[in-house]
């Protein structure tokens, strides 16, 4: 049987870096479910649709053609054979993805897509509802958190390195706004699964978080790990 490890948590808590590292160490497949929501948002934006109906959203989500190319430090993401890695990280796409992710039709479609992607493989799945909805029977569940201020600082540093001129204040406000959207939505709101190990990474390094996770995983005695 395949093993599923889920890592949920708010934006900027370090999920992507940690999930990728963990998947590399364990030699599991890494799936970034946020990228699926972002690619759906990109399709909506590319088609210049102001308010997509459920039918259009279902059509878009069902026809997503996403390939994750997992490298050691950097992953590339392709949609219909086009590299969209950077494009899907824009603030506009972040906001639209957050809005579309509140729609049941989007969630239903992308939940089945994630289950299909796991397809009998050992996976590390990063998301918001990976442990609560997508894989409620996952073997090990983590909820990675950090204070909004710390998450704002991390995202700000990332964006500044890429040459962006947004202020720390703007970035932190946007994170708080997205937290509100993600935790208050009616369907699959962001919350830890009852059996998730909650890790607050505010004062922890990435290595410390990954080590803590590996410690927990070892307790489960997964075959080959």
On whether the CB atoms of residues 102 and 181 are closer than 8 A, the answer is: yes
Residue 9 interacts with ligand DC (CB under 6 A)?
no
Residue 155 interacts with ligand DC (CB under 6 A)?
no
Residue 101 interacts with ligand DC (CB under 6 A)?
yes
Site for ligand DC (CB under 6 A): which residue of 57, 97, 109, 146?
Answer: 97
Q: Are strands 4-8 and 123-127 parallel, antiparallel or unpaired?
A: parallel
Task: Collect all residues with Cβ–Cβ distance below 8 Å to 136 and sequence separation of at least 6.
Answer: 193
Name the segment binding ligand DC (CB under 6 A); options: 61-69, 127-135, 158-166, 214-222: 127-135
Q: Rounded to an integer, what distance in angstroms lies between the CA atom of residue 196 and that of residue 71?
A: 27
Residue 174 interacts with ligand DC (CB under 6 A)?
no
Residue nearest to ligand DC (CB): 34
Phi, psi of 134 (to 5 degrees): -70, -50
Give me the helix-helix angle, 168-184 and 91-100, nearest 10°: 10
Q: CB-wise, 122 or 185, nearer to ligand DC?
A: 185
Residue 178 interacts with ligand DC (CB under 6 A)?
yes
Sign of the CA dihedral with 211 first, then 157, 8, and 63 last? negative
Q: CB-wise, 34 or 52, nearer to ligand DC?
A: 34
Binding site residues, ligand DC, CB under 6 A: 11, 33-34, 37-38, 97-98, 101, 127-129, 178, 182
């Amino acid at each position: 049987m395949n093993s599923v490890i889920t890592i949920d948590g708010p934006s900027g808590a370090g999920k992507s870096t940690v999930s990728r590292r963990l998947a590399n160490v364990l030699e599991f497949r890494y799936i970034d479910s946020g990228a699926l929501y972002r690619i759906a948002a990109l399709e909506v934006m590319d088609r210049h649709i102001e308010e997509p109906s459920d039918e259009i959203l279902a059509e878009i989500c069902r026809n997503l053609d996403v390939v994750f190319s997992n490298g050691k430090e950097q992953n590339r993401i392709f949609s219909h054979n086009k590299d969209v890695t950077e494009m899907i990280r824009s603030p506009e796409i972040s906001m639209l993805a957050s809005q579309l992710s509140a729609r049941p039709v989007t969630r239903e479609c992308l939940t089945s897509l994630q289950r299909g992607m796991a397809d009998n493989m050992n996976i590390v799945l990063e998301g918001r509802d990976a442990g609560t909805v997508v894989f409620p029977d996952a073997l090990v569940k983590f909820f990675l958190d950090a204070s909004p201020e710390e998450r704002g600082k991390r995202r700000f540093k990332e964006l500044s390195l890429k040459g962006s001129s947004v202020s720390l204040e703007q970035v932190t406000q946007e994170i708080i706004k997205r937290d509100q959207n993600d935790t208050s939505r009616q369907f699959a709101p962001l919350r830890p699964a009852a059996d998730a190990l909650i890790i607050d990474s505010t004062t922890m390094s990435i290595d410390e978080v990954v080590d803590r996770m590996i410690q927990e995983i070892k307790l489960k005695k997964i075959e080959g790990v």
